[in-house]
Amino acid sequence: MEVIYSKACGVDVHKSFIVAVICDSTSITPKYYKKRFSTFNNDLVKFRNWLLDNDCQNVCMESTGKYYIPIYNALEGFIPNIVVANPKWVAVIKGEKDDNKDAKWIADLFKLGIVRSSFIPSKNFRILRELTRYLYKLTCMKSSEKNRFTNALTVGNCKLDMVFSDIFGKSSQSIIQTILDNNSFSDDDIINCLRKNCKSSHEDILSAISGISFTYEQKLRIKLIKDHIDYLANEINNLRDIINNLIAPYEEYIKLLMTIPGIDRNSAITILSEIGNDMSQFSSHYKLTSWAGLAPGCNESAGKKKSVKISRAGVYLKPCLVEVAHCAVKDKTNTYYANKFNKISKRRGKKRAYIAIARKILVAIYHMLLTGEVWNPRDLASNETSDKDRLKYTKNNFKQSLKQLLSLGLTSDELLEIINQNSLIE
């Protein structure tokens, strides 16, 4: 095989140390230089200087958790070609594995140019990604605490969650606070807690709290959970302020993504933090959708196609896009994705249809960030929301479709044109 990089370095990354092997292929017989460094910053600087002294501008390492990030930070800006590879692409044969052999094997594969590079965004987007992922974790924690709060009320025979649509509204929270603060309370105390815009009837509210039995310890637990919810809400607001300040230079990209149905500001920030704004990192939208875990798998052997499930990639991006797909399908102002969803769900089911819509949205995002154009699909005209477009014509139900067309009051010319366009007759 042709040698792509005459000098390449393979790095075996561990928590406390790294093993680096430089492969020099300038001569007929390749030469190897091995050295071990600790992962302290001063030793990483020595590692960087060692590479520069040996004129090695190509480095490849495994993406082992978060351990590769300090090495990447030390080399960024000094080494032009840094490749972070998925471990499955540089795996060593079993029985022939140790730290030195791992680094040498990575260098041998990398010099031939057969190691796939993982997507590493710029430093600004890496910082933004850390914040948005932490925001996602805090939001999940807040949701868990809210469920725990509701369950604590149910254990004490308090059924306010069956009366109020939002148990954390002002009226319901005022009632709960009255119950927790007073050992004895009257019906008038509960009624006085209600707001003017409360839609629940007084009888249902009083029935929901009749027979409650909270012990002192249960009340303390509910108060602790409520304090934690308030704390998380405050932290989420502070984190959103930090994210908004960091995303300010990229406001144009946020507005561009928000032209897509189903995408709001929060989801646009999440998407941008995961994939960045430079689509030249991906050779095509196929690579991007595969990286995000939204492309069907390729698993065929002996002429038999096996499971084509999507991969587990895109742990943070994929849920965001699926949530966007749900919103886009339910968008009443633009039914472009709703029409796509209806066609796919009838053949493949709703779950696969949502994944397909999420993939279509990601493909649109790729081309929009690449060209700077707003969302405007080529087949948008054929998906306009009109009675004609909602009719599905097939040869098998020609009579039924013809009755539906006649009920629209179309002229004979319009009727013939629709029939010919949709191939109702041969």
**CATH assignment of the domain containing 52:** 3.30.420.10
Q: Which pLDDT band, with edges at 50, 70 and 90, does 89 fall under?
A: confident
**For tokens 């819509």, what's the residue?**
357
* 392, pLDDT greater than 50: no
pLDDT at 409: 65
pLDDT at 419: 64
Range 252-280 average pLDDT = 94
Range scoring the smallest mean pLDDT among 9-23, 27-41, 373-387: 373-387
Structure tokens at 281: 């990192």
Residues 27-66 pLDDT 10s: 888 999 999 999 999 999 999 999 999 999 999 998 888 9
H or E element at residue 83 = strand 81-85
Structural Rg of the chain based on CA atoms: 30
66 and 139 both lie in a single domain: no
398 and 371 both lie in a single domain: no
Q: Over the chain, what is the mean pLDDT?
A: 87
Instruction: Select from 25, 3, 35 the least CA-distant residue to 103.
Output: 35
Q: What is the rounded CA–CA span in Å between residue 317 and residue 329?
A: 18
Give 411 or 204, the one with higher predicted confidence: 204
**For 393, phi and psi rounded to 5 degrees?**
-105, 135
Q: Which pLDDT band, with edges at 50, 70 and 90, does 7 fall under?
A: very high
Range scoring the smallest mean pLDDT among 96-100, 142-146, 284-288: 96-100
93 and 175 both lie in a single domain: no
117 within some domain: no
Label residue 211 left, alpha or beta by phi (over 0 means left) and psi (-120 to 50 means alpha). left
423 to each of 155, 346, 381, 394, how far by Cα in Å?
62, 20, 18, 8
- Three-point CA angle 351, 353, 356, nearest 5°: 115
119 within some domain: no
Choosing from 66, 88, 111, the residue where a domain stops is 111
pLDDT at 421: 61
Print the domain residue range for 77. Answer: 7-111
106 and 184 both lie in a single domain: no
Residues 151-161 pLDDT 10s: 999 988 888 88
Split into its structural domains, the chain has a count of 4
CB 379 within 8 A of CB 340: no
CB 293 within 8 A of CB 312: yes
pLDDT at 413: 72
pLDDT at 389: 42
pLDDT at 38: 95
Q: What is the rounded CA–CA span in Å between residue 363 and residue 289?
A: 7
Q: What is the rounded CA–CA span in Å between residue 48 and residue 56?
A: 10
* 390, pLDDT greater than 50: no
Q: What is the rounded CA–CA span in Å between residue 342 and residue 325?
A: 13
pLDDT at 349: 94
Q: What DSSP designation does 22 have?
A: E
Structure tokens at 113: 């140019």
101 and 153 both lie in a single domain: no
280 and 163 both lie in a single domain: no
Residue 223: CA count within 13 A, CB half-sphere: 12
CB 260 within 8 A of CB 302: no
pLDDT at 64: 84
pLDDT at 420: 66
pLDDT at 368: 94
Give 246 or 426, the one with higher predicted confidence: 246
Choosing from 69, 86, 111, the residue where a domain stops is 111
1 within some domain: no
pLDDT at 408: 62
Residues 207-231 pLDDT 10s: 888 878 888 999 999 999 999 999 9
pLDDT at 49: 95
* 387, pLDDT greater than 60: no
* 254, pLDDT greater than 50: yes
Q: Which residues of 363-382 are buried (b: 16+ CB within 10 A; e: fewer)?
A: bbbbebbeeeeebebeeeee
Residues 364-375 pLDDT 10s: 999 999 999 999
**Percent of the chain at pLDDT exceeding 90:** 58
* 344, pLDDT greater than 50: yes
H or E element at residue 69 = helix 68-75
413 and 296 both lie in a single domain: no
User: Dihedral angle at the C-alpha atoms of 400, 406, 411, 417, nearest 10 degrees?
Assistant: -10
